[in-house]
Structure 1
Amino acid sequence: MDDTEVQVLSARDVPLGGPRAMTVRRTLPQRSRTLIGAWCFADHYGPDEVAESGGMDVAPHPHTGLQTVSWLFSGEIEHRDSLGSHAFVRPGELNLMTGGHGISHTEVSTPGTTVLHGVQLWVALPGAHRHADRAFQHHAPKPIRFEEAELRVFLGSLAGETSPVPTFTPLLGAELLLAPGATVALPVDPAFEHGLLVDEGTVRLGGTSLRPAELGYVPTGHDTLTLTNESDHRARAVLLGGTPFDEEIVMWWNFIGRSHADIVEAREEWERASERFGHVHGYPGARLPAPALPNAALTPRGNPPRA
């Protein structure tokens, strides 16, 4: 793999969650790339000192047409949703919530959390399943050694390890820890496109160096990804992958649909507290109101045409 085959996606800072917003670094979506497989959203945050940042406090808010994937490196987040789930997101443990036709939830860092650090990811549901039933799943993958790396495979398969969590499209999600100076050749599915989001250290993917908060995109057709930690300390990254998602989507606020009308309908139902999204119990505050829609019609977006 040479350096011309890796597209570097840089992050932008975005406030998350209403008046007590914390700042996150967003690499997906952006103008040059909407999806990597069915991965359509990637927020990366921390390490944040909660005493200074205030931590995470996201009031009840809705989702449609997607799954949320929560993965922490440090800290703890309390999750409540309108399915009745009450769970905690902890380092090295996957919390996956299926929004489908409609769900609402809250995310609040716990009082004992001093440093908050992790990623929040979304998966677009394919058209046949975008109105799937609400669901919540938890999985704690065991760490495995592969060459000079430690892996935690939370979705899909990598290096002989397979997550038991089912997905609606073929996906890969894994945390990678690389020893100082280590080089690892990871066997991957050539039908997948991949994205490597670097958390700490500088990691060379093929011939391209990626710094913290950068995401390197690799198209289909590769059966091996070669990663080198160019740092003199441990490096950490999250590897995402999946078969190309060829459907166009409309993504606005917390909704994914296929048309402007889908988004208008979801927003109206949230604003009138429709049973579509249910109710979250146990959060001491009001729901997040939906922002105003733009004056122009929302248009479907996909990725640039494949060469």
Structure 2
Amino acid sequence: MTRLRIGLIGTGPWAERTQAPALAAHPGAVLSGVWGRRPEAAAALASAHGVEAYEDVDALIGASDAVAFALPPDVQAPLAARAAAAGRHLLLDKPVATTVSGAREVVAAAEGTGVASVVFCTLRFAADTAPWIAEQGAAGGWFTGRAHWLSSLFGPGSAGPYAASPWRREKGGLWDVGPHVLSVLLPVLGDITELTALRGPADTAHLAFRHASGASSTATVGLSAPPEAAGASIDLYGERGRVPMPPWSDAVGSFRSAVDALLQSVRTGDPHACDVRLGLRITEILAQAEERLQKARPGAAGG
């Protein structure tokens, strides 16, 4: 197969630091151009990698075999559906959307044209965690799981590049880091058949799940923790005792592996386990959790 032409839609810190460098250096892909909602940012990012900055998103889609997205989820979803309808493969960011209807539109468009898709849930592609997830899923025998993912993105004194993200501030840790947690729990413990959710401080959410395997799990997620309290871990408990997930790093390398996965899916026609269908399921679960949290808000009807 010739090198896949992949266009990049988005120009923020994630696109600049992770996606563009990975795409530009990938031996099986060609960065075919950049489009963004801010033309000056698209021009700067495209210039840094010696490619064209497109003023029209449909022109970039037309010049590409696949499209990678680095956009807020509810900006991503309709453009992804548009690209899929045009027969372009999809390399999506998580979450696919923050509404079930938006995610379903992407799935319908992808299934309608038969394009390949991969959702970049980092842990499913990081060199340290991807094989661990596969190993634990194959092992079975799990009793329960516990996920803890507290970021200080919006904590006191935060000045990180993602702190200026309006969608993260609006939707909080449930939608930003919740997909990472679910991308691990679902393949290991099975689909979620029942859930409950309680509010914690600021945007913190406490979640409890029952899985199809009979196991249960809990997750605490948030973006507003004090820096001293920030950290992320996922632990499984079962017949082999407590098994912690290893630490991970190298976002560029992880994204490169996601590109590998998309190329493999395009080449074989086999869907990847972390494709747009899983992205839809994650959106459905998070939307249900969000509904529970809204009902639990002080003063809400029935709360």
Give the TM-score taking structure 2 as reference length. Answer: 0.28
> As a proportion of its length, which structure holds more strand?
1
> As a proportion of its length, which structure holds more helix?
2
Give the TM-score taking structure 1 as reference length. Answer: 0.28
